Amino acid sequence: MRNFSQAFCMKSDLDQIARILLLGMCVQKLTDTKIRLILIKKENV
pTM as predicted: 0.57
pLDDT at residue number 44: 81
Q: State the residue range of the domain holding 14.
A: 1-45
Each residue of 9-43: pLDDT tens digit?
Answer: 678 888 998 999 999 999 999 999 999 999 999 88
pLDDT at residue number 45: 72
**Pairwise CA distance, residues 33 & 18, whole Å:** 23
DSSP state of 45: -
Please choose, from the candidates 3, 24, 5, 2, the residue with its C-alpha nearest in 3D space to the C-alpha of residue 13: 5
**Residues, the chain:** 45
pLDDT at residue number 2: 67
